[in-house]
Amino acid sequence: MDVKVFSDNQEKLARYAKALGHPVRVYVLELLGKQSCCYSGDLSEELPIAKSTLSQHLKELKDAGLIQGEIEAPRVKYCINKENWEEASTLFKELMKR
């Protein structure tokens, strides 16, 4: 019999925290938070890192649900996933109140 130790909220919070665990990803979220959306090519011009490295960071943020990407060939447009961003914000606030 499997006993669930962690709540769904604890697992979600850990996933969001992991995604925020690198300064490049924090920077990307701050940048996307200031505008409606951004193309991956524009992000690579903003950051002095390889495009492949940026792609990996974007994948981490997308896998965590904090951003969403939309293909507009040949580019990808990224935006904050507002629903998950609100959820992450709420979960972090609840954690910090303790």
For residue 88, give the CATH number of its domain.
Answer: 1.10.10.10
In the 3-class helix/strand/coil scheme, how is the chain assigned residue by residue?
A: CCCCCCCHHHHHHHHHHHHCCCHHHHHHHHHHHHCCCEEHHHHHHHCCCCHHHHHHHHHHHHHCCCEEEEEECCEEEEEECHHHHHHHHHHHHHHHCC
CA 92 to chain centre: 14
- The answer to the question of residue 75 being in a domain is yes
Over pLDDT 90: what percentage of the chain? 71
- Say which residue, 12 or 39, is predicted with more confidence: 12
pTM recorded for the entire structure: 0.88
Number of domains in the chain: 1
- The answer to the question of residue 53 being in a domain is yes
- The answer to the question of residue 36 being in a domain is yes
- The answer to the question of residue 3 being in a domain is no
Phi, psi dihedral angles at 28 (to 5 degrees): -60, -45
Q: What is the pLDDT of residue 1?
A: 59
Domain of 23, in residue numbers: 8-96
Who contacts 36 (Cβ-Cβ below 8 Å, separation ≥6)?
79
| Tens-place pLDDT, residues 22-62 | 999 999 999 999 988 888 888 888 888 998 999 999 999 99
